[in-house]
Structure 1
Amino acid sequence: MRRLLAGTALALATALPAAAEMTAAEREAFRAEVRAYLLENPEVLIEAMNELEMRQQLAEAERDKAMLAEQSAAIFNDPASWVGGNPDGDITVVEFIDYRCGYCRKAWQEVDDLVEIDGNIRFVLKEFPILGEQSVLSSRFAIAVLQLHGGEAYKKAHDALLSLRSDTTPEALVRVAEDLGLEAQPILERMQTAEVTKVIEDNHRLAQTMDISGTPTFVVGGTMVRGYVPLEGMQQIVAEQRAAQEG
């Protein structure tokens, strides 16, 4: 109903200034005319709603573009975030991820395929735990592995956490570490440090600034993609962003 009213308001916007200067009787007659017209031509409402939706999408895209430009360094070049794919790729894809997010798990292999098939994508992961304490534990574990053992170990931990089917508990994380051939105790200790906490807090502040409230959220070149998109859709977005950069 809200969208319907908004569409009607847009369709009648040019008539409102004149209506404001009418007498009460003239306004009543005007309203009756408008009602009769809309009943006879309901397609006008659909046209108005389509136009309103298009304007809202354009406005949102412009806001996103401005935010990306303003936060470019924190998004693309944060030294605390893991970088994979082609470090010298011509386009960067950034993913804000929560390991307990079903759609992040659904996108996981497809994002890996996107990066591998393309071969020219620089891929950045942002730890963004928003789904409770188990999400926070998972992100702390992944960040601790990155800080202690580097990028290759982090990617293996990342994959293991996304494929984990049990609850995320300290005991489960010990098993993950052991499966990766890593000593668990130093990782568990590192998880509680200020250095790990800072990464999560910085990512949450960045997400708030960028109006990101869900996962997965992607930044692809100069555009934001909120939510899961299948592989072919992501490939199309990458192609569009490449064309925009070249233009």
Structure 2
Amino acid sequence: MTLPLSDSALIGTCLAATALGLIVMTSGGGGAAPTPDTAAQTETAASETAAAPEPSLPFGAVPAAPDAVDPEFGAQVRAYLLQNPEVIFEAVAEFERRTAQSQGDMDAALVQANADALFNDPRSWVGGNPDGDVTLVEFLDYKCGFCKRALPEVKALMEQDPNIRVIIKELPILGPESELAARFAISVLELAGPDAYDSVHVELMEYEGAITPDYLEDVASDLDLALADIVDLMESDAVSTVIEDNRALAQRLQISGTPTFVMGEQMIRGFVPVDNMLQAAAIARQ
């Protein structure tokens, strides 16, 4: 789901509104710089206020903030912003840069703290080049439309970069059909091996209909898999533990949706095309 305004647009709107507020506050008669006489009266009033004792406040009360911006300062800000409106958007860009840097640092720390569970779990499917110098971990849900869109992008990544190792983490978060599909895929990996899992994974990702027991029976039949053994394993504690561990890992990594990718120490939240994945791989190799 997308919001009507991007974060940048929203921040820019807020900054623009703040700037306009300053302009309004400092425009017209009320915002004009004081004349010498007015300035003298202001200075006298200020000295009298400073000399007067402060009224006592009830326990826990907070003094009210001043209502007005200093007129001279406000007039300077107004003039500067009118002459240099691009400064607002420069501030937005700098805010985005600092936010991205902070998020990247936090993601790297989370990946480092969970590296073993991410990259060395023997229960997860490994594809691409098992000895590749960069690993891509994908958290996915078989009912997720953006995960389905990501399938050809991940395939293209493995074709264009032969040194990519790919790991799949089932993260069923979209309901009973998601859980059924994840249990089926995990059971196939355990019983029939990585090649059979790869075939099932592609089938489930490309399928647009409802994931039902009858559909999974057809998949098993088409791939010549032992359905009875798979069904028995699907309801086992071992498969439940894999799913629970994947969910716990996602929670520790602050992953809230699918697809989410981990590449090196980077986290990529949401669908991205293969070019972005290749750029992330280049960064991971630096």
The TM-score by the shorter chain falls in which range? Answer: 0.7 to 0.9
Q: What residue is the counterpart of 1:18 in the other structure?
A: none
The equivalent position to 2:115 in structure 1, one of 53, 58, 72, is 72
State whether structure 2 residue 112 is matched by structure 1 residue 104: no
Aligned to 1:224, what secondary structure does the other structure show? strand
Count matched residues: 232
Distance 1:25 1:100, change over 3 A: closer
Corresponding residue of 2:233: 190
Quick one: structure 1 residues 48 and 7, their matched pair in 2 at CA, closer, same or farther if it must change by over 3 Å? farther
For structure 1, which segment, 32-41 or 89-98, has the greater mean C-alpha deviation from structure 2 after superposition? 32-41
Give the RMSD, CA atoms, in angstroms: 2.3
Measured at CA, do residues 205 and 25 of structure 1 come closer, stay the same or move farther in structure 2, by a change above 3 Å? closer
Aligned counterpart, 1:226: 269
Contact 1:128–1:139 at 8 Å: present in 2 too? yes
**Which of 132, 140, 152 is matched with 2:195 structurally?**
152
Q: Quote the Cα distance in structure 2 between the aligned partners of 1:188 and 1:31.
A: 72
Q: 2:11 aligns with which of 3, 10, 13?
A: 3
Following TM superposition, by how much is the alpha carbon of 1:205 offset from its aligned partner in structure 2, in angstroms?
Answer: 0.9
Is 1:62 the counterpart of 2:105 in the alignment? yes
CA displacement at 1:222 relative to structure 2: 2.0
Q: Distance in 2 between matches of 1:33 and 1:240?
A: 44
Partner SS, residue 123 of structure 1: strand
Helix, strand or coil at the partner of 1:119: coil
- Tell me the amino acid that sits aligned with residue 115 of structure 2: S
Structure 1 position 5, deviation (Å)? 7.3
Offset of residue 115 of structure 1: 1.2
- Larger Rg over CA atoms: 2
SS of 2:268's partner is strand
Q: Which secondary structure state, in structure 2, belongs to the residue aligned with residue 105 of structure 1? A: helix
Instruction: Identify the residue that residue 142 of structure 1 maps to in structure 2.
Output: 185
Cα distance in 1 for partners of 2:14, 2:207 equals 45
Within 5 A, what are the aligned runs for 1:1-247? Answer: 3-4=11-12, 24=66, 27-29=69-71, 30-31=73-74, 33-242=76-285, 244=286
CA distance in structure 2 between the aligned counterparts of 1:232 and 1:3, rounded to whole angstroms: 28
Gapped runs of 5+ residues in structure 2? Answer: 1-8, 20-45, 47-65
Deviations 1:156-189 (A, max 9, x none): 1111111223200111111111111012122122
Deviation at 1:31, TM superposition (A): 4.1
- Specify the alignment match of 1:15 in structure 2: none
Q: How big is the shift at 1:233? A: 2.2
Tell me the TM-score normalised to structure 2 length: 0.75
Closer/same/farther in 2, CA of residues 6 and 69 from structure 1, 3 Å limit = farther
Deviations 1:47-79 (A, max 9, x none): 111111110000000000111111100111111
**C-alpha separation between the residues in 1 aligned to 2:248 and 2:175?**
17
Decide whether the 8 Å contact of 1:7 with 1:52 is kept in 2: no
Q: How far apart, CA to CA, are the structure 2 residues paired with 1:50 and 1:120?
A: 34
Distance 1:25 1:71 in 2: 50
Using structure 1 for the length normalisation, give the TM-score: 0.86
Instruction: State the Cα distance separating 1:117 from its structure 2 match.
Output: 3.0
Aligned identity (percent) is: 48
Q: How far is 1:40 from its partner? A: 4.0
Q: Of Structure 1 and Structure 2, which has the larger fraction of its residues in helix? A: 1
Indicate if the aligned counterparts of 1:6 and 1:49 stay in contact, CA closer than 8 A: no
- For residue 168 of structure 1, give the secondary structure of its aligned residue in structure 2: coil
CA shift at 1:240, angstroms? 2.4
CA drift of 1:33 comes to 4.2
Checking the alignment, whether the CA contact within 8 Å between 1:166 and 1:172 is kept in structure 2 is: no
